[in-house]
Structures are given as C-alpha cells and as structure tokens.
C-alpha cells in the first residue's frame, strides 16, 4: 500500500481567496485525500499560507499593519475559511515559520557549495521617490505581449508570461505610483538553472511525466524547450527568508532576502516539519521528504500559472542540492475558472470569494459544483444560472429528494425501523449489478484524478436509485403487497447508506447526515466493495432510523436575483 503525499499550491497571504483559487488546487486535493483515506491509504496532505514577497508588504502597508502582524491575522482568517469548506489538511502551515527559514537557508548553502548559485552585479530599477530598489512586483506597467496595463514586473497576470521589469511599457512604482525610476547596479544571488537543465530534462523524462495531464507536461516541456535561464533568487525586501550571513555576509548585511518563489515550494517540506515537530515522537517528516522510500507517492495540485515553478524550478532546486529530496510523481494542473467569461481576480475583487460563498450557502453546495465543473481540460466559466441548475438538479432533486422521500415514506408506513419485506428479486439484482458497475467507473476516475468524470459517475449512482424507485413505485406496491413495498424501501435505504460512503469526498457534511440517519451498530466501513454494492444489505431490517432535515434547499429565482445584484452577472463582467 502506497503512502500518499499530497500538496496543493500555497494560497497567497494577501487577502481571502476566490472560488477559482479553491477549485484550482486545495479543493480537488482534499477530495483526492479523502478518497485515498477511505480506501485505506496512508495520506499526508500538506498546505500553508505563502507569506513572503512584495504583495504581502504592499497589503500590510495598505492595512496599516506591520507585515508580520498582517500575515498572522490573514493566516488565521484563511485557515478558518478552509475549515468552513471542510478541507482535511493534515497540517496547514506558514512559509514564515522557523522551519521553512532553516530549510530554505540550508537549500541555498548546498546549492552554493555545489556550484549552482552565483553572485552577480545586476542593474535594477531604483525609485527616486521611494528611495529604494524596487523588487519586480513593486513595478507595474503594460505587458509588451498582451497589452494588459496592470502587469507586474515578474509576471503578467493576464497572459501568464514571465517578465523582467525592464520589459514593461510605461513602468511605475507600485508603492507610490511614481514613474521617476532609474536603473542602478546592485548585487543578487542567481540560481544557475542553465547548468541544471540536463538534469531536469533527465528527471522529467524518467519520472512518469508522460502520464501527467497534457496541461502540466506541455508547460514543463515548453520551458525546457525554450531553455532554462539563470534566475535571481534574492530580492530587496524587509520581509522574507534572510540570506544566511555565514554564506553571504555582505548580502546579508544589505538585508537581502530570498525570492518568494525560491522559498515557497520549500515550505511544503517546512510545513511537514512544522507538523512533525508538534509530535516528534510519532511523526517523522524525513520519511516523507528525505530519503523517502519507494512507497511514497507525491501528488501536487495547482493552477496552470504555478506549473513552471513546480515542474521545473523547484525540481532544479532539489536536484542541485545533491540531497535525496522527494520529488513530485504526478502533477494535477487546472485551467482557469472564470466568472461570466472574465477572470476572477483577488486584486480587483471580481467574482465570488470564499468567505462570501460560505455566507450564502453551505460548503457542500460549492464543493460539489466546483468539482463537477472543474476546469480540467480547458477554462470554464462560473455563472449563477449554471450553479443553481447544478445544485437544484443534482443535489436537491436527484440526491436530497431521494433521501427524504424514501425515509419519510417508510417512517409513515412502517415506523422508525428499516422494514423487512420480501427477499431481493430480479429488480434488486439488476440494481446491484448497475451500482457495482458505476462504482467501478467512479473508482477508476478517482484513481486517475479525473474529477469531472468522477462526479458524473457519482451522479449516475444517485440517479440509479431514483430509476429503481420509479420502477418499483412503493407508493403503489403498498396498496397490494406491503412486503414488496418494504423490500423496495429497505433496498433504497441501503442505497442511501452506500451514497453516504461514496459521496463523502465530495460532500462530507451531507454524507455524514445521511449516514447518521441509521442507528447502525459497528458501522465502521470506510468504503464499499463491488460485492457489497451488489448485495445492498449493509443496513438490515430492524435498524432504527431518523429522517434528517432537508439536505439541500433549492435555489430560487429570488435567490438568484439577489446573488446577481450582489456579485454581478454577464452584463457587468468584462470579456475574457
């Protein structure tokens, strides 16, 4: 049995994340982690807030807070929201932790000793009005590739092209807005990625990347085809992992810190050590990351803009240390989730943000919709109309209504215990075969991380119950043969129990409500085998049950109108 190491791209610290961030990394990673745990795998799901870099300093400045205090507050705010979405992190850490600082500095030392870091004098933008060198993200201007007028000096948010500040048209300071900029000489550390390219290519060719989603593998190979460039890994900032004085005393004295994209991926390891340090007697972070045995399978989840850093830059960093760090086995990359054709944007507060989503509706509504419509093969677009249709048809009508009508009708006609009735007949055997077949499809899609297809298989399982109920029509059977109606209801109740188990990765709160409806002694099953799916007898006659509250309330046209008014709709959103 494999040990499953799972990481999702670190959410940045400067503000609450939108639904696009959620579906692009953390939520699918959680669904997969929950599924693997149910299948009996040993899982370690690690994430953290990404706290260093220019945006953190700028956001703290806007909030009127010291950056350390701002980051601490934002970490707790984000953590509370992820708990609201029931994300099952084994640990949710902070890139500003002592552990990450120590490991990042050791990475840099090892890279330097192995000849992969070089100190270079470079010409960098200096702001006369701010009286400081400006890191890349402190400079904004027009992208020379797509014309986006709010491009940052390191990367264009619109077209995702990596930039240098000097590439920008009409650059200006993000701190003061001043365009009184000049180029001066300063010293920085460079990671010699060009020297590491052959090793990265060999690693990528031999690690199974051909089985990655096309989105992930194509981006990685595109970067390699274009050739890896040596890249500055230090910045002039007050907040970050400091350059170690024992290795670079002059740069340390100048207050240089490591570039956020150097230390952020290392925080996967740092957060695991944070987790390990909480219970050092029982947790060994090194067994997951350092000289990890072949049983550890490492899967990363991220949106497409993070792919180059995780598939090229971070592996190059790991390889250059010459230490036996665990490298990724599978990269699950996602396209964008858009909002009516325009981009969700944290900086511009466009679209639905995770805190507002939880204020409107329970987490399961969002979890199911986002995974069922995950942007796996191409960009997808959120609309309130699509959201309400998915919730009303799939959750309220297909699953919720099935649960309510079966349990309510049985209690009304047979009391508060599962009725006995006839032994299973041809209809039940046919249903069992169909459920077992769909279970196999569901497992196949989950194992291959095809989330939309997995959602379709799960929805088909729910629909099979409705089709069986319509075929048997217990409300008619009971008029002529009470035992026949009892058999139908007993079988349907077993379907509810089965749905509770299989739906847990997608809708954990609702799954718990379904399962707890039955007073079933020793109900510890974490998954369902094909034979159990065929038998549909986990809940025997005589089991006491209750009718849970309505699982999913329908979204009304009045609700939709209020949502459009608050968040905007097609007519108010920009074109992509």
Which residues are annotated binding-site positions? Answer: 143, 146, 156, 159, 346
Strand, helix or coil for residue 343? strand
Give the residue from 545, 550, 556 showing the smallest Cα distance to 520: 545
Phi, psi of 542 (to 5 degrees): 95, -10
**What does the CA dihedral 389, 395, 397, 399 come to, rounded to 10 degrees?**
160
Binding residues for ATP: 346
What secondary structure letter does DSSP report for 153?
A: S
Residues 460, 435: Cα–Cα separation, whole Å = 9
Could you tell me where the DSSP H helices lie in 481-556? 482-503, 508-515, 530-535
Counts of helices then strands in the chain (DSSP H, E) = 23, 17
Binding residues for Zn(2+): 143, 146, 156, 159
Q: Which two tokens stand for residue 401?
A: 């209504």
SS3 content of the chain, % helix, strand, coil (to 5): 50, 15, 30
Which residue bears the tokens 């049950």?
545
Residues 230 and 192 sit within 8 Å (Cβ to Cβ): yes
Residues 485, 480: Cα–Cα separation, whole Å = 9
* Residue 210, Cβ density class (10 Å: 0-12 exposed, 13-18 middle, ≥19 buried): exposed
Residues 223, 215: Cα–Cα separation, whole Å = 13
Beta-bridge mates of residue 186: 122
Contacts of 303 (CB under 8 A, 6+ apart): 9, 20, 21, 24, 25, 333, 334, 335, 336
Q: Which two tokens stand for residue 43?
A: 């899982």
Q: Which two tokens stand for residue 361?
A: 């509706």
Residues 498, 288: Cα–Cα separation, whole Å = 33
Which residue bears the tokens 């008619």?
476
Beta-bridge mates of residue 122: 186
Residues 420, 492: Cα–Cα separation, whole Å = 12
Beta-bridge mates of residue 82: none
Q: DSSP per residue over 280-327, as a string?
A: TTT--THHHHBS--TTEEEEEEEEGGGHHIIIIIHHHHHHHHTS-B--
What secondary structure letter does DSSP report for 568?
A: -
Cβ atoms within 10 A of the Cβ of 182, count?
9
Beta-strand relationship, 117-127 and 342-343 = unpaired
Residues 319, 432: Cα–Cα separation, whole Å = 51
Residues 107, 317: Cα–Cα separation, whole Å = 8
Integer angstrom CA distances of residue 154 from 76, 113, 322, 352: 28, 28, 28, 26
């Amino acid at each position: 049995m494999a040990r499953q190491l799972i990481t999702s791209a670190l959410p940045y610290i400067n503000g609450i994340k939108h639904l696009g961030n959620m579906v692009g990394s953390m939520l699918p990673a959680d669904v997969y982690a929950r599924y693997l745990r149910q299948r009996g795998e040993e899982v370690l799901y690690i994430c953290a807030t990404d706290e260093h870099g220019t945006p953190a300093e700028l956001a703290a400045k806007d909030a009127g807070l010291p950056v350390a205090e701002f980051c601490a507050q934002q970490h707790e705010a984000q953590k509370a929201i992820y708990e609201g979405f029931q994300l099952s992190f084994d640990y949710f850490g902070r890139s500003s932790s002592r552990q990450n600082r120590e490991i990042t500095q050791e990475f840099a030392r090892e890279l330097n000793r192995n000849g992969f870091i070089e100190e270079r004098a470079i010409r960098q933008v200096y702001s006369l009005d701010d009286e400081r060198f400006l890191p890349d993200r402190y400079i904004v201007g027009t992208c020379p590739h797509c014309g986006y007028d709010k491009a940052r000096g390191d990367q264009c948010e619109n077209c995702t092209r990596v930039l240098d500040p000097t590439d920008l048209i009409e650059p200006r300071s993000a701190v003061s807005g001043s365009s009184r900029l000049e180029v001066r000489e300063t010293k920085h550390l460079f990671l010699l990625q060009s020297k590491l390219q052959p090793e990265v290519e060999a690693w990528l060719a031999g690690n199974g990347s051909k089985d990655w989603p096309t989105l992930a593998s194509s981006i990685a190979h595109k970067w390699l085809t274009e050739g890896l460039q040596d890249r500055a890994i230090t910045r002039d900032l007050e907040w970050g992992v400091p350059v170690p004085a024992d290795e670079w005393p002059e740069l340390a004295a100048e207050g240089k810190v490591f570039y956020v994209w150097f230390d952020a991926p290392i925080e996967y390891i740092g957060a695991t050590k944070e987790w390990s340090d909480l219970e050092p007697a029982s947790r060994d972070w090194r067994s997951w990351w350092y000289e990890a045995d072949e049983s550890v399978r490492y899967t990363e989840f991220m949106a497409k803009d993070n792919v180059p850093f995780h598939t090229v830059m971070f592996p190059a960093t790991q390889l250059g240390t010459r230490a036996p760090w665990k490298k990724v086995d599978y990269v699950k990359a996602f396209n964008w989730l858009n909002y009516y054709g325009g981009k969700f944007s944290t900086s511009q507060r466009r679209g639905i943000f995770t805190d507002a989503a939880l204020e409107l509706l329970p987490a399961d509504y969002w979890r199911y919709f986002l995974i069922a419509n995950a942007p796996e093969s191409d960009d997808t677009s959120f609309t309130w109309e699509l959201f309400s249709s998915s919730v009303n048809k799939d959750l309220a009508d297909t699953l919720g209504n099935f649960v309510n009508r079966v349990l309510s009708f049985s209690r009304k006609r047979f009391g508060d215990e599962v009725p006995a009735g006839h032994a299973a007949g041809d209809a039940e055997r046919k249903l069992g075969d169909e459920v077992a077949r769909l279970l196999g499809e569901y497992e196949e899609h989950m194992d291959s991380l095809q989330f939309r297809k997995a959602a379709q298989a799960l929805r088909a399982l729910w629909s099979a119950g409705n089709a069986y109920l319509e075929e048997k029509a217990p409300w008619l059977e009971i008029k002529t043969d009470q035992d026949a109606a009892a058999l139908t209801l007993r079988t349907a109740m077993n379907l509810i129990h089965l749905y509770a188990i299989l739906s847990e990765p997608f809708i954990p709160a609702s799954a718990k409500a379904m399962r707890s409806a039955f007073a079933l002694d020793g109900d510890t099953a974490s998954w369902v085998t094909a034979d159990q799916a065929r038998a549909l007898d986990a809940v025997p006659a005589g089991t006491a049950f209750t009718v849970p509250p309505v699982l999913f309330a329908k979204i009304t046209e009045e609700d939709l109108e209020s949502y459009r008014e608050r968040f905007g709709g097609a007519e108010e959103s920009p074109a992509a």
